[in-house]
Structures are given as C-alpha cells and as structure tokens.
Homo-oligomer: A and B are copies of this chain.
C-alpha cells in the first residue's frame, strides 16, 4: 500500500495531493469517485489529519475534487473541460454480479490487519511465518533445478503431485485414492467454490454445521443455495440423527462437514457418529463434503480417520490442503472424489482460471516427497502449536478470571470461547481494535453474540499474553 515518504524533501501533504492527482489523471479515480474521509485517509497513511486536509485543499484548488456536506469528497465531474461528458457509473457495475462481496465484518478485520501490521492478530486462521517449513523450502529451492514444465498444466493438476498425494492420503489418512481421481485446487477455498458453483443449483438446500466456517463464506449465497444448520450438539460434534428430520423438511442435496477440529468449535466428531453420518447420508442418497484442513495438527497422537477413509461407495468428496500444515502461500489444496465429479470440476476450473501454475505444485510435491523432512516439520509444528495453545489458555485463565468458557482444543489453529457477560459483537470488536488486537466474532460463523474465535497460531508467542490482556481490557471497559 502506498505511503508518503518521510525522507523525501517534498512536504507530506504535497506528496499525497500529487499521488491522488496522478490517480485521478490516470482514470483510476474516475469522475464521481468518492475519496475517503480526511480522518480515514489520515489513519491509512499514518499522517496527521491536518496533512490530509491540506492535500485535499490543494486538489480542490486545482479543480480535481469537490466536497459538499452529505456528499463527501469526490473526483470533480468537470475535470475534463468546459462541457464534461456524463461520467460512467462504475458504482452500478460494482453492485451487480451474482457473486456477492465478502462479509463486511471480515473485510473490516482484514483491512485493519493490512493497514496496521502492529496489530495482535487472533483473527487469522493461519500459521505464523516462523511455523512454515522455511528451511526445507529454501533447501529445496537451492538444491533442485526446476524440472516441471512452463506450459498449461493438466486440467486436474500436476500429475507428479497427484501421484504424491495418492501416497500421502493413504499413509497419513488411510484414504485410498488414485492420482486419476484427485484434483489439485488453489487451497480448500477453490474446492468449495467449485462444488457450490458446479454441483449444486440455485435453490438447492444444503446442510452445514452450526456454527461453521461456511457461514463466513458468501459463496453459498452467491450460488443461491439455501443453508440449513446441523447444530454442533456437544464436544463430539453434530448429531447425525438431525439430518433425517432436516432432509424430510427441506430435501437436503449436500452436507458440508469438518469432522476433525471443526472450525470454529474445535470439536472432533466421534467415531460412532462418523459411521452413523455416513450410513444416514447413504440411505438418504446425499453426498457428503468433508473439509479436513486440520487433521495433521493433532497435538497428541492421531485424530479419528476421516470419513473418506470409511467411504468405499464414493459418497464423500474429501478436501485437504497445505495451508494449515505447511504454508498458505503455496495455494495448494486437493480434492479426492468420484472420477466423474473430478472431471466435471476440472473442466469448470479450466474455464475460470486455466489451472494453477506448475511451479508451486512441483514445490509441494518435492516437500511431501522428502518424507523425513516433512515428518520433522510436522512434529515441530505440532509442538509449537501446542505451546502457543497453552500460552493462550493460561492467559485467558489469568486475565478473564472465569468470565470466559472454552474447551481446550486438541488440534487446529484456533480456540472457541464464550464470554459469560457478552457485549454486542461490533462494539467489542471496535473496542479491541482501538487497543491493538483483533479476533473473529462468533457471528461470522453464525453464532449468537458472546462467542469469539481466537487464533493461537497466527500471533507470535511473545504477543499472546499481551493480546489477551488487551482483549480483557476491551471487554471490561465501556469504550
């Protein structure tokens, strides 16, 4: 993001007015474009408000922008001459489209994180950079000449990576799959996007866990789906019996679950319920989409095998990724599903983006193939996550003195907790932001107020206690 240069001799206000003037002349801020308020821009650029006031003053004097009460500051329509053409109404286009914008609360949190790198980030369900397999990656980069190709890739993804994943799925998860029925995607996110866009029609009813990560994804609404909740009943996850009544009422077309370390509750679906869920879904003829990003983070021993390992009838679409166990920036996810489903989705994906670059796929294959290295990475990742989880749990116990309730997660990147005296979601978030800390409000996942999801993976270890103390202060204070 552009910022004025404090070492430059040009005054800050002048740098700002020149930058904005340039963007207006380039057509990036077309006539009628609304500029941020002076206060907001000052915060973004980390300058005094008076500096922005002066910059806007200059632009107004040059006839490039105009301000009015209730109208804000906008690019002047008349900037092109005496008789300006009516400006093109981009705003109408931005509001069009069947694909909906992100949830405003999530956009607000992400913007805060980008604008202010000093923020203590309990919001992002992501590893901190020190937990990435940085050394393996650098060694791999230096030691290997790239032998992948530079042309368009196979529509299902780089074949050597699919071969590697077939082994990986068998060894780590007990899932039997051939490379021919694996699709490489840009993280789990693209798998879910392809499923909602290509296998379901507008008006279709789907069941998702409640609360669920899926609620944070406008893609379900963008695809016109009707969403019905399967409550996370207790620490053993959803009750598969609920599916029957839900199906009777709404004719459920697909079920989305995250059985291991469910996002956001952290629950693990118990083995008897797994069997029951698969049986029930098979009897009702409903396919199950199993999102499994966290299995390999299990802190102690092994979590139950994924549903897909029990599925010999091909009723389950299994989704995994490297994002939560190696690095999100590889953008490597995968899907194991019936062959014809994989073919349909690969065809659609090709139309959307012509597939992934082979380069990160080649890297991912090399990482997973260097088994000892990858094992060592996983072991140290689990240890580090466990340590960070413990820091978070201690800090919560100390700072909140019983005014929060939570189960201690045995894997995953986040902790789900309930405030016993909850404030409004948005007010609490604003109070937290003012104190330099962010988290994910439960409402993002469809929960009632008072719930928060805290990522212990993202903040660095030495910031966790400080972050919790700021959060506790936000909860206690009226402002």
Contact with B along A319-331 (1 / 0, CB 8 A): 0000100011111
Q: A96-B204, A360-B360 are in contact. Are A189 and B354 (CB under 8 A)?
A: yes
**Complex interface residues of chain A between 8 and 41 (CB less than 8 A to chain B):** 19, 22-23, 25-31, 33
| Bound CA–CA A361/B30 (angstroms) | 28
**Complex interface residues of chain A between 72 and 127 (CB less than 8 A to chain B):** 80, 85-91, 93-94, 96-99, 101-102, 107, 110, 114, 124, 126-127
Counting CB contacts under 8 A, is A406 at the interface?
A: no
Q: Is the CB of A348 within 8 A of B314?
A: no
Counting CB contacts under 8 A, is A198 at the interface?
A: yes
Contact with B along A390-406 (1 / 0, CB 8 A): 00000000000000000
For A180, the closest partner residue in chain B by CB is: B2
Q: Is the CB of A331 within 8 A of B352?
A: no
Q: Which residues of B contact A448 (CB under 8 A)?
A: none
Counting CB contacts under 8 A, is A357 at the interface?
A: yes
Pick out which of these stretches binds chain B: A217-225, A372-380, A381-389: A217-225
Q: Is the CB of B329 within 8 A of A152?
A: yes
Number of copies: 2
Q: Is the CB of A28 within 8 A of B177?
A: yes
Q: A152-B329, A356-B331 are in contact. Are A145 and B141 (CB under 8 A)?
A: yes
Other-chain residue from B142, B315, B352, B360 in contact with A219 (beta carbon distance below 8 A):
B352
Counting CB contacts under 8 A, is A149 at the interface?
A: yes
Q: A99-B198, A190-B352, A197-B97 are in contact. Are A149 and B129 (CB under 8 A)?
A: yes
Q: A178-B2, A339-B33, A353-B331 are in contact. Are A344 and B200 (CB under 8 A)?
A: no
Q: Which residues of B contact A354 (CB under 8 A)?
A: 186-187, 189-190, 323, 328, 331
